[in-house]
Amino acid sequence: MATSKFSAQIHFFLLFTLIIKIKGNEIEHESKYPIVVSTWAFVDAARVAWSVVDAGFSAVDAVVEGCSTCELLQCDGTVGPGGSPNENGETTLDALIMDGATMEVGAVAAMRYVKDDIRAVRLVMQYTEHTLLVGEQASVFAISMGLPGPMNLSSEDSLQKWTKWKENDCQPNFRKNIAPLNSCGPYHPEGRSNFGQTSSYLNLVESDTPKVSQINIHNHDTISMAVIDKAGHVAVGTSTNGATFKIPGRVGDGPIAGSSAYADDEVGACGATGDGDIMMRFLPWSENI
């Protein structure tokens, strides 16, 4: 049952793996590198990454410039500022870089008020011993290290989308087993008024009917990009503004190393995008290794 729900919800799931062929102990790289692979048709981002890595810069540099291009272009409205408002109408950002040469990871999750999330994660990787910073403290760190902010990450478009959603009684949303079911909050656990009665647990179980997936072409997504540079080093990056109308605080697979993406010079890199709430439980890319 779990797997059928899984496959139904991964319609827009995209996956790539780059496996470096190892001959004896020598990694073959001569003329085969550099390589740039990205999810979706984010051609401009791939072009920028290519020009950086082709000029001799590192895989990490290329991933940063490539993902940053998508943030700037607001690719599909799913990357960078001005897209995917949460229940409160706010846009927050998640991103990750993994350096396959050093196995270092930098990540931010639910970052507010700073638009340059892939640059923020590079700062986390370069200037801290940590892997993941979250929320407003991630913004404070990014700004203290020189990124512009605090700034408003909303756009006319994201606010319009949010206003329409509110007018539609906050449907669809990501809540379950709550009341009210068909209107905006505040929400409380369904059956709470029966608290203490034996029937309340049964009510909860019976009402756990699967919802139609809200994940579609404009609400699915991440850019996930893998690069191998001329020296044969591998890096991977992701950048996303998360699911539209998410509950504030929700973080998907995007900034989680080994969930959205992974890189290791000795093996290669992989990345996937789709319904992050599902994917971070099933790690679909791992089946491709």
Ligand X SMILES: *[C@@H]1O[C@H](CO)[C@@H](O)[C@H](O)[C@H]1NC(C)=O
Binding interface with ligand X (CB under 6 A): 152, 154-156, 159
Q: Is 276 annotated as a binding residue?
A: yes
Question: Is the CB of 81 or the CB of 237 nearer to ligand X?
Answer: 81
- Set 78, 91, 92, 222: catalytic member: 222
| Interaxial angle between packed helices 117-127 and 135-144, expressed in degrees from 0 to 180 and rounded to the nearest 10 | 80
Does 252 appear as a known binding residue? yes
Q: Please say if 17 is a catalytic residue.
A: no
Shortest distance (Å) from residue 115 CB to ligand X: 12
229 annotated ligand binder: no
Question: In angstroms, how far apart are the furthest CA atoms of the chain?
Answer: 71
* Contact status, residue 94 vs residue 128, Cβ threshold 8 Å: no
User: What's the token pair of residue 23?
Assistant: 């001959």
Spatial distance between the Cα atoms of 102 and 112, rounded to a whole number of angstroms: 28
The nearest distance, CB 195 to ligand X, in angstroms, is 39
CA pair distance 14, 39, nearest whole angstrom? 7
Do the annotations mark residue 253 as ligand-binding?
A: yes
Secondary structure letter of residue 257 according to DSSP = B
Cα separation of 156 and 192, whole Å?
38
Compare residues 154 and 194 and give the one whose CB is closer to ligand X. 154
CB of 152 to ligand X, least distance (A): 4
Which is nearer to ligand X, 155 or 177 (by Cβ)? 155
Q: Which residues are catalytic?
A: 222
Q: Give the residue ranges of the annotated binding site for substrate.
A: 250-253, 273-276
